[in-house]
Amino acid sequence: MKEKIGKILGTLLFVALISCLFYLIFFSNKKTNKGEIKMIELTGNHLLSAKEYLAYARLDDKSKFGGLTLADVKNRFANHPYISKVDVEDEGNNQIKVYLTEKNIEAVLLASGEPNFITNDFQILPILPNAKFTDLPVISNIGNTKAIKPLSVLKTDDIVEAFKIIEASKLTNESMFRKLSEINLRNGGDIILSFSGLKPPVLFGHGEAAKKMVYLDLMWNSPEGNNLIDSSEYIDLRFADEIFVGSSVAENNSPGDAHKTGLSE
């Protein structure tokens, strides 16, 4: 008889424990689903402040957190044009943490006086008020400005070449990349580069971006080359294995009256 009562009590205790466990799980989910989120922390934001992202997601007013779920919060941030990925974690104590992964901005695209971001995936993004960015080169005179629409993809041969120039500057010298201020595509003509700290424009032409960037870096960082650069009005990299510097910009197929520096010797 005692064994039977003991088994019954053991079964009842087990059922009670299971019931408590289900209650706690349900109650915890219910709290989150009923809007018990009281604090949202952001990390991974660089292009915009946390305040700007929260305002876009309509999460800047804690009094309106009622009824929010983790999925709701994730979706609101995922719709932002600068965001490629969002992860949301429940930190407990009515707090959640939002991990933002922003799109990789490659350059500023300038067309008809209107600047836009362009990502490493060739997507056009608007430059929103208060967006923060530094060391981004400007790509100008791309030709067909009608193709520039926010959130569209613009992958022309000239844009691809501009990206190769940017990549070559990064691989050659980090300082070179930071100083690259403009890539003028000249509507399909010979590309001209501008660098901060370098007075003359660089007639870059087309092709062999990596080789040309190395040659320019060697000249820029040598005493003799620096003296030539300081006294010149242009640097011409359009001709194989040589740099020409001169007192007037040469627009035709010959460097004209210029000093020749052989770099293949």
- Comparing 30 with 118, the larger pLDDT belongs to 118
**Contact (CB, 8 A) for 92 and 84:** no
pLDDT at 197: 84
Q: Please compute the mean of the pLDDT values over residues 118-135 and round it to a whole number.
A: 94
Q: Which CATH number fits domain 105-262: 1.10.3720, 3.40.190, 1.10.10, 3.40.50?
A: 3.40.50
In this chain, the answer to whether the domains covering 32-102 and 105-262 adopt an identical fold is no
Cα gap 255→224, rounded to integer Å: 20
Where along the chain do its domains lie?
A: 32-102, 105-262
For the chain, the helix, strand and coil percentages under 3-state DSSP, each to the nearest 5: 35, 25, 35
Q: Which two tokens stand for residue 186?
A: 């000249």
- At 194-234, the pLDDT tens digits run 999 888 899 999 999 999 999 888 888 887 777 777 778 88
**Contact (CB, 8 A) for 229 and 198:** yes
Output the CA angle 214-218-219, nearest 5 degrees.
Answer: 120
pLDDT at 96: 94
Q: Please compute the mean of the pLDDT values over residues 6-35 and round it to a whole number.
A: 53
Backbone angles phi, psi at 256, to 5 degrees: 70, -145
pLDDT at 36 over 90: no
Superfamily grouping for domain 32-102? membrane protein fhac (3.10.20.310)
Q: pLDDT band at residue 265, thresholds of 50, 70 and 90?
A: very low
In the block, which residue shows the tokens 């001709």?
Answer: 239
DSSP result, 70-119: HHHHHHHHHTSTTEEEEEEEEEETTEEEEEEEE--EEEEEEETTEEEEEE
pLDDT at 53: 96
Chain mean pLDDT for the chain: 83
- At 62-84, the pLDDT tens digits run 888 888 899 999 999 999 999 99
Q: Please compute the mean of the pLDDT values over residues 50-55 and round it to a whole number.
A: 96
In 3-state terms, what secondary structure has residue 218?
helix
